[in-house]
Structure 1
Amino acid sequence: MTTERPAPPLTGGEREMLRTFLDFHRATLAMKCDGLSDEDLRRAASPPSTLSLLALVRHMAEVERTWFRRVINAEDVPMVWSAVANDFQAAYDTSSATRSEAFEAWQAEVEQSRKIEEAAESLDVTGHQPRWGEDVSLRLVMLHMIHEYARHNGHADFLREAIDGVTGA
């Protein structure tokens, strides 16, 4: 499977740019996982660290759910991988995780995120981030998500290179 990645526009409105850059980074994470087995995807970066490509996909499912569904949409939904609120570490336990379960959960959360963003009247829509004790705008959430993906895609670059030597984009 080869992941298609959208080309961000060189000009355009703020929302279109944010949306496309976020989708670009989502696709980049998927590309880093293309062609790898479950075992490869579970391979830890540098033990005792549990960071792996599969852990990153699972983590980003949590991040998508938290920022779009729990913060912006004020949904009372549990974490994806843990029954404990704000337990982002559970996503990193990939000992019995599979590509199909991780990608299914992540893609479902991405679709929910897209629906929430598209339904919002403007980027000025706000939600409450309880961990910060502050209200935040959809604009901030989208920028934060771009940052989060970009940071973790840097990790994914190193993880993928350690698995099979593939580098780039």
Structure 2
Amino acid sequence: MTTAEAAPERTEPSTLAGEREMLEGWLDYHRETLALKCSGLDEKQLKEACVPPSDLTLLGLVRHMAEVERGWFRNRLADERAAPLYCTDADPDGDLHPGEADTWEEAYTTWRAEIARARELAAPRSLDDLGEGPPSRHTGDPYNLRWIYTHMIEEYARHNGHADLLRERIDGTTGD
């Protein structure tokens, strides 16, 4: 039985940072918050959908965030056209539906690889640089890196709220 590793280090973002350092600091803070919510749990707990009627699980949230990192940085920012990791035509929300054979080790490794690639793609760009991938389906406008960072912070913050509820139901652990 695999267990999510011990609690990761989480650094509070600087209160005096410039814009880019602030955005990257908050994004990293939220990435580590999700890892923290999963730490110390076994495979069964990570796959437990314990907030009915939702079928969300902590493992599913990590897989989802791997897809989100991939979609925004690799596909929207860099136009790599990277194929989905877990989603299929048959199950467009496949990231959120891990099966019996899916493991924490694979999901965590994949998620961390997508984070590393996101950092690599963002590093040489300015916050004003426009994404090379598809524009907004709502406005037709391209996304700049600043917008992508802000959206990613929002995405993690929302799902970390879900993770808070799941973790509390699994073993009573609460906290920010």
Task: Name structure 2 gaps, 5 residues minimum.
Answer: 1-5
Residue type matched to 1:102 in 2? A
Return the structure number with greater helix share.
Answer: 1
Once the two structures are overlaid, the 10-residue window that deviates more, 71-80 or 42-51, is: 42-51
What is the aligned partner in structure 2 of residue 144 from structure 1?
A: 151
What is the aligned partner in structure 2 of residue 168 from structure 1?
A: 175
Residue type matched to 1:159 in 2? L
What is the aligned partner in structure 2 of residue 50 from structure 1?
A: 55
* Alignment partners' CA distance in 1, 2:123 and 2:50: 36
> Does 2:118 correspond to 1:135?
no
The 5-angstrom pairing of residues 90-101 of structure 1 reads: 90-96=94-100, 97-101=102-106
Task: Name structure 1 gaps, 5 residues minimum.
Answer: none
* Alignment partners' CA distance in 2, 1:77 and 1:107: 16
Return the structure number with greater strand share.
Answer: 1
What is the aligned partner in structure 1 of residue 8 from structure 2?
A: 3
Once the two structures are overlaid, the 10-residue window that deviates more, 139-148 or 111-120, is: 111-120
Q: 1:46 to 1:7 in 2, by over 3 A?
A: closer
TM-score by length of 1: 0.93
The 5-angstrom pairing of residues 69-88 of structure 1 reads: 69-84=74-89, 87=92
* Alignment partners' CA distance in 1, 2:136 and 2:45: 34
> Which one of 112, 116, 120 corresponds to residue 117 of structure 2?
112
TM-score by length of 2: 0.89
> Does 2:67 correspond to 1:59?
no
CA RMSD of aligned residues (A): 1.7
> Does 2:129 correspond to 1:125?
yes
Q: Secondary structure at the match of 1:136?
A: coil
Number of matched residues?
167
Q: Secondary structure at the match of 1:46?
A: coil
Q: Secondary structure at the match of 2:143?
A: strand
